[in-house]
Chain A
Amino acid sequence: MQFKNTENYITTEDLEMAVNAAINLEKPLLVKGEPGTGKTELAKQVAIKLGLKLFEWNIKSTTKAHQGLYEYDAVSRLRDSQLGDKKVNDIKNYIKKGTIWSAFSSEEKAVLLIDEIDKADIEFPNDLLHELDKMKFLVYETGEIISAKKRPIVIITSNNEKELPDAFLRRCFFHYIQFPDHETLTKIINVHFPDIKKTLLQSALEIFFDIREVPGLKKKPSTSEILDWIKLLLVEDISVTDLKKEPKDMLPILYGALLKNEQDVQLFEKLAFINRNQ
């Protein structure tokens, strides 16, 4: 099983290596990188490319590790017991499978995405150590041991909001998705917009990389932003000459797609003001 470029997703060689190492050695792959560089998309594309089912577990700040395994609904059992429901005799009726359990019980190999693991509490990754390492866990309420029928390909993304514990890192492969260079970005855009004119793409990319280089930007636009922007340019049918024309306020056409922060917009306005006075 080998992962390579897909039709909609351009990979770099180092990313392919990381994914393939994780697939071959059956260990989780931890992916980090600037927001909007396609971390979550990676898992989806791996699943599509290899024709596997994808199990997605999105983590929030309130997510607890055991929710991914299973949840025991004590409250409804309590309620049912008050009503004299027969269901109450079997505890299994009140155990709900979590995403990890579902992935483990899949008959075929699957891809398990644990998205934004850093959003959860600091202890969260530690609670999953054993489960991800051995790919099995114990259902305490029933005494059942659930182990993966086929070890799934586990892809974990992180936005770096919290440091992950060493013990956890040791069990993973690690890849940092770098912001794509000019060449890769051109490829990526071509994949999404195959009909785009070369000249338009070229000048749009120039503007985009110029913006990224402006010092002091609070949020640098990234891959997903430029894709949005180019989509807008195409929808509005903006020509290369329109794009290249220096607008009065120096802000690029349809800047809303690129600059997501009013301080950044102000920064650009200030720069434009300085430019005009020169």
Chain B
Amino acid sequence: MYTNFFLELKKFGIPVSIQEFLTFLNCLQTNLTEFEIEKFYFLAKTSLVKHEKYFDTFDQIFSSNFNGLEKIELEKFLDKMNLPSEWLEKLAEKLLTKEEMKKIKSLGNFEKLMETLRKRLKEQKKRHQGGNKWIGTAGTSPFGAYGFNPEGVRIGQQESRHQKAVKVWDKRVFKNLDENTEIGSRSMKIALKRLRIWARNGLDEELDLDNTITSTARSGFLNIKTRPERENAVKLLIFFDVGGSMDMYVSKVQELFSAARSAFKHVKYYYFHNCLYEGVWENNERRWKEQIPTYDLLHKYNKDYKCIFVGDAAMSPYEIEMVGGANEHYNNETGRIWLQRARNQWPNNIWINPAQEDYWKFTQSTVILQDIFESRMVPLTLNGLDEGMKLLN
């Protein structure tokens, strides 16, 4: 049973190793779970899943593997013990809401309900389906799953049919920690931090111990040597597409922008519209007055700079391929030529596309740009950024 669960976790991309699995089995032997399905779930989660981004997947797999397990545990429990009343009460407390508890009238009061539950559990010897007395599934008895009686105690079913007692794992509270869906500025910074080149620059402020020892030994007196501190020496050049179809992605791109600014010391950024042509601008409000010739940038920033284009790549193919195809001015050279110049000058380059990856293939211009960038186009998701940073390294 557990092995299947383990294999399924692996199959759905949760990185679990044998070592973790053995730890988990060890845990089970320590009796920490006290035969409670919920504790079993917590234990499995803490020992097998090591990142919150996998919680949602884990919850789903757990649900499909172990729902209904409560029933088995319960029967085992019945065999072994004499049904402690605290346990039953706890079970009921967990499964019934306050209002439901109040509603229990048909059977008298809560103690009565519990007593009946205990009696029925004892009477029951084999699994059954339907009927209105026994505990099992799909009966009208107050006990068991799929019951319609308002005070029914839920003991095992695929999902909450009346949404009264949703199990923790069926709640799927960790849905939005799933990496492919959401992205925040903080998490972007983490992704961007992948891009690091350590170098020693600036003032000699750090004691260079090795060198001090060597030179002291050599000269026969204490000869202190210092060196500059290590810092991230990555230089970035970012081009942002603004206006038009990019408006939809403004907030997402803003986050990327602020993340990049705080993660790197040397970041230069410029704006363009749809495709790169002979001019870009630094300030979007004064875009018509203060254009900077793209040639200047090509000469100013050397090959050390890593170049990132951010844009949705959605435009008419003419804007890339034709002279005069640009939609806001007349361009003497095609966008393709300008993009290729930039790519030649800064060989470490990627295109980050905020549009959903599934739709890329339906936009002709996106396909063309992917071709120009030799598939170095990544979506603006955490995984995409991760991949992009790897390409840039």
Q: Which residues in chain B, 4-21, are within 8 Å of chain A measured between CB atoms? A: 15, 17, 19-20
The interface residues of chain B lying within 8 Å CB-to-CB of A172 are 50
Partner of A173, one of B47, B51, B186, B193: B47
Q: Are B32 and A174 in contact (CB under 8 A)?
A: no
Instruction: Report the Cα distance A172→B43, complex, angstroms.
Output: 13
A7 within 8 A of B: no
Which of B22-30, B63-71, B106-114, B233-241 faces chain A? Answer: B22-30
Contact with A along B250-265 (1 / 0, CB 8 A): 0100000000000000
Closest to A12 in B: B42
Q: Are B32 and A20 in contact (CB under 8 A)?
A: yes
Closest to A62 in B: B229
Partner of B222, one of A25, A79, A173: A79
> Closest CB-CB distance, A111 to chain B, in whole Å?
18
Q: Are A174 and B49 in contact (CB under 8 A)?
A: yes
B38 within 8 A of A: yes
The interface residues of chain A lying within 8 Å CB-to-CB of B174 are 176
Q: Are B209 and A17 in contact (CB under 8 A)?
A: no
Partner of A163, one of B32, B42, B45, B190: B190
The interface residues of chain B lying within 8 Å CB-to-CB of A176 are 52, 55, 174, 177
B303 within 8 A of A: no
Partner of B19, one of A14, A170, A216, A218: A170
> Closest CB-CB distance, B23 to chain A, in whole Å?
6
Closest to B209 in A: A74
Instruction: Report the Cα distance A25→B27, complex, angstroms.
Output: 7
B46 within 8 A of A: yes
Q: Are B17 and A170 in contact (CB under 8 A)?
A: yes
Q: Are A75 and B209 in contact (CB under 8 A)?
A: yes
> Closest CB-CB distance, B219 to chain A, in whole Å?
13
The interface residues of chain A lying within 8 Å CB-to-CB of B32 are 17, 20-21, 24
Q: Are B50 and A21 in contact (CB under 8 A)?
A: no
Q: How large is the interface on B (under 10, 10 to 19, 20 to 34, 35 or more residues)?
A: 35 or more
The interface residues of chain A lying within 8 Å CB-to-CB of B49 are 174
The interface residues of chain A lying within 8 Å CB-to-CB of B55 are 176
> Closest CB-CB distance, A17 to chain B, in whole Å?
4
Q: Indicate whether A14 sits within 8 Å of B222 (C-beta atoms), given known contacts A25-B30, A32-B52, A75-B209.
A: no
B76 within 8 A of A: no
Q: Are B46 and A17 in contact (CB under 8 A)?
A: yes
> Closest CB-CB distance, B18 to chain A, in whole Å?
10
Q: Which residues in chain A, 17-75, are within 8 Å of chain B measured between CB atoms? A: 17-18, 20-21, 24-25, 27, 29-30, 32, 74-75
Contact with A along B317-331 (1 / 0, CB 8 A): 000000000000000
B173 within 8 A of A: yes
Partner of A78, one of B189, B193, B222: B222
B364 within 8 A of A: no
Instruction: Report the Cα distance A23→B72, complex, angstroms.
Output: 28
Instruction: Report the Cα distance A18→B20, complex, angstroms.
Output: 14
Instruction: Report the Cα distance A11→B45, complex, angstroms.
Output: 17
Q: Are A13 and B190 in contact (CB under 8 A)?
A: no
> Closest CB-CB distance, B42 to chain A, in whole Å?
4
Q: Are A13 and B42 in contact (CB under 8 A)?
A: yes
Q: Are B51 and A174 in contact (CB under 8 A)?
A: yes
B287 within 8 A of A: no
A178 within 8 A of B: yes
Q: Are A82 and B52 in contact (CB under 8 A)?
A: no
Q: Are B26 and A25 in contact (CB under 8 A)?
A: yes
The interface residues of chain B lying within 8 Å CB-to-CB of A174 are 46, 49-51
> Closest CB-CB distance, B279 to chain A, in whole Å?
32
Closest to A16 in B: B42
Q: Are A13 and B46 in contact (CB under 8 A)?
A: no
Cβ contacts A to B, 16 pairs, < 8 Å: A13-B38, A17-B46, A21-B30, A21-B46, A24-B27, A25-B30, A32-B52, A75-B209, A78-B213, A78-B222, A82-B222, A160-B186, A161-B190, A172-B50, A174-B49, A174-B51
User: What 5 pairs between A and B have smallest CB-CB spacing?
Assistant: A169-B50, A17-B42, A18-B46, A14-B42, A176-B52
Q: Can you name 18 extra interface pairs (CB under 8 A) apart from A25-B27, A161-B193, A175-B46?
A: A14-B45, A17-B46, A18-B46, A21-B32, A21-B47, A24-B27, A25-B30, A29-B46, A32-B52, A75-B209, A78-B216, A166-B50, A169-B50, A171-B19, A174-B49, A174-B51, A176-B174, A216-B251
B residues near A (Cβ < 8 Å) are 15, 17, 19-20, 23, 26-27, 30, 32, 38-39, 42-43, 45-47, 49-52, 55, 168, 173-174, 177, 185-187, 189-190, 193, 207, 209, 212-213, 216, 221-222, 251
A residues near B (Cβ < 8 Å) are 13-14, 17-18, 20-21, 24-25, 27, 29-30, 32, 74-75, 78-79, 82, 160-163, 166, 169-176, 178, 216, 218
